[in-house]
Structure 1
Amino acid sequence: MRRREFIGGTIAAALLSRAGAQPVAARKRLAIYSPSEPSAQMQEDSDNRYYRALFAELRRLGQIVDDNLIVERWGAEKAGAGAPTLVEEVVRSNPDVIYVVGLGALLFKRATSTIPVVALTADPVAQGLAASLARPGGNFTGVSVDTGPSIHGKRIALLREMYPKLGRLAFITLRGAWEGPQGPSVRAAATAAGVEVVPCLVDFPTTEASYQDLIARIRPDGADAIMVGDSPDVMTKRAIIAAKIASIALPAIYPLADFVDVGGLMTYSFDLVELNKRAANNIDAILRGTPPGEIPFYQASKFELALNLRTAKALSLDVPATLLASADRVVE
């Protein structure tokens, strides 16, 4: 009888042990690829409010880090291997879904046609990532932050309102972005505004010195104002970029609201908190079994204008009342 009780107890313990192990076995794996940013920023408690928004939304949806979701981060400290090599490593790790911000989306298109990818990127249709925004097909979905020439035209118009003498515009961006959809969009917007645009290109991976050297050449080249292009890389190096532009005393408009907090004159930006929440919803849908090709790309449509009045004063600029009234945020 005792032997029967012992065997029964052993079987019950084994079943309980197996049941207890099921949540671990059921964990999903999310790989985040953003080689411009340190992996330490890709956390729930990060200083980066955009990643905080991503993880908070995932948690709200029931995807809880280190519980039912394992997050593998591929950040700046791994970028020395080179982007193509790093992308291959991510693909070999075979996660359930990949989240990629920026230009890396194209590398993943070449590297895998089976692993679901959520991309926060420029025009996914123009890049060949999706058949359409509504029905992407394939293994990509995500958020499109490219509205064609319209956002660049709006930034040029706002900069001209702040600085009416605008005639020759230096445009700072990554070479890969300029050679993709961004370049034609900026050129079209500048032509429509009657402004000459001078591309000022930096090669990835970048350093603070590469931006400093680039910016130092802008005034001698004859530009009278600056526009900085969208990329995670400029977000990471925003303090040094804003400081160097301040040192050459040219008015500039930036792509992310965070720039006004480090001395940037003005920004006209997407609401990246909202966009990361949208990306989190796509990640959640994939983890619950929805094919990425059936999940529409979300098109960014909400924008924010921010101004730094201290910087305007340092540049001897009178901020128009109309511009001040339309600002979503003003740094005094």
Structure 2
Amino acid sequence: MTAAGHCHPGGAAARGRPSRRDVLALLALLAAAPRAAAKDRPVVAMLGLASEEADSAFLERFRSGLAANGVVEGETIVLEHRHASGDMTLAGRQIAELVALGADVFVVPGPAAARLVKSMTGVPVVSGGLPLADPFLFESLGRPGGTVSGLSSFGEDLAAKRIEVIREALPDLRLLGVMHNVTDPVYSDWGEKSEEAARAAGLATMRLPLESGSPAEVDGLLGGFKASGGDVVLVIRDFLTHTNRLHICEAAARLGLPLVSEHPIFVEAGALMAYSEDVDAAMTHIASFVVRILDGTPAGEIPIELPTRFRLYLNLATADRLGIVFPPSLIARADSVLE
């Protein structure tokens, strides 16, 4: 059984994207903006589409990765960072500002920001969370071409493995809700891949598509899912769900719904569990791509890397509140247990 949540696609403004007029105005600004004069240090521009608070862990790990590669912020490079808090028009203005400051390379947490930067500039982009295929961003994982490289967080069997772990923790699971940002094609596709993996495992699924991430929208989707007999919610992490994670977790808890995610930050916010790539290692490693580009390697010649290390995160406090007892074998395998 597959059911769809209520989704009302709207225009660009309704989805928070810049309109065509906004984009043309921003492109004109880019053309008119003078490049920073005679820089003595390269400028690394970090752009996050989530809030500054939500992007803080990425920025901290990225800085650690720079230091591990011998890069000293303020001495060998200048690091400029901006955070759009889900406002795509603001993000466009921030890109123009960063280009005017002389950005030599952009680093972004995910593909939505990478797509926006690539659509507006020719500056190299290093991105986390890249999909396995995206003709606009790159030609192939092994030979990206163009201006984008980085890390993918979508291992070929990751969706199936995550469903396997969820079923081990919750063997009575029957109906799985998949919550994702419907305005982003990458995460819409990954939501579908997650549903396919769940259905292949014999589960029924229900899509819970977010457009704005507002409390009212979240409450309506989760309430409808609960009323439909839903058992567990899987949240697909992107800038929209990341920024609104506290309310998503709180709303699920009020309804007695176990919430599972792909990212440990949701476990810290109250989700029951997460199974993901080693996020800390990935955020640190992404700095090495930036260093290679600053050393002269074109982004299009740097292969996009797939995740090789995965981690299981459990929240025992949330399990206790929900009356869930994790199997001892699962606890023994967990990389992080929050008590």
Pick the TM interval, shorter chain: 0.7 to 0.9
**Paired residue type of 1:32:** M
Moved more, 288-297 or 259-268: 259-268
Partner residue, 1:188: 196
CA contact (8 A) 2:272 2:319 kept: yes
1:174 aligns with 2:181: yes
Separation (CA, whole Å) in 2 of partners of 1:187 and 1:235: 20
CA contact (8 A) 1:171 1:226 kept: yes
Cα displacement (A) at 1:84:
5.1
**Paired residue type of 1:115:** V
Q: Alpha carbon RMSD of aligned pairs, Å?
A: 2.5
Runs of 5+ unmatched residues, structure 1: 1-23, 43-47
Whose Rg is larger?
1
**Paired residue type of 1:108:** V
Three-state SS of the structure 2 residue aligned to 1:219 is helix
1:322 aligns with 2:338: no
1:236 aligns with 2:243: yes
CA contact (8 A) 1:37 1:233 kept: no
Three-state SS of the structure 1 residue aligned to 2:43 is strand
Three-state SS of the structure 2 residue aligned to 1:72 is strand
Separation (CA, whole Å) in 2 of partners of 1:207 and 1:29: 35
Three-state SS of the structure 1 residue aligned to 2:87 is helix
Partner residue, 2:120: 111
CA contact (8 A) 2:180 2:191 kept: no
Three-state SS of the structure 2 residue aligned to 1:99 is strand
Deviations 1:172-216 (Å, cap 9, x if unpaired)? 111134665313312321221122221111125x44554344333
1:135 to 143, 153, 166: 143
Three-state SS of the structure 1 residue aligned to 2:228 is coil
Normalised by the length of structure 2, the TM-score is 0.80
Moved more, 124-133 or 303-312: 124-133
Cα displacement (A) at 1:66:
2.3
1:164 aligns with 2:171: yes
Separation (CA, whole Å) in 2 of partners of 1:174 and 1:286: 31
Partner residue, 1:198: 206
Taking a change above 3 Å as real, the CA distance of residues 254 and 78 of structure 1, as seen in their structure-2 partners, is: closer
Moved more, 90-99 or 260-269: 90-99
**Paired residue type of 1:142:** G
Give the number of aligned pairs: 300
Runs of 5+ unmatched residues, structure 2: 1-37
Identity over the aligned pairs, expressed in percent? Answer: 29
Three-state SS of the structure 1 residue aligned to 2:225 is coil
**Paired residue type of 1:36:** A
Cα displacement (A) at 1:91:
5.0
Moved more, 212-221 or 93-102: 212-221
Partner residue, 2:16: none
Kindly report which structure 2 residues correspond to 1:74-89, keeping only aligned pairs within 5 A, or say none: 74-76=82-84, 79=87, 81=89, 83=91, 86-87=94-95
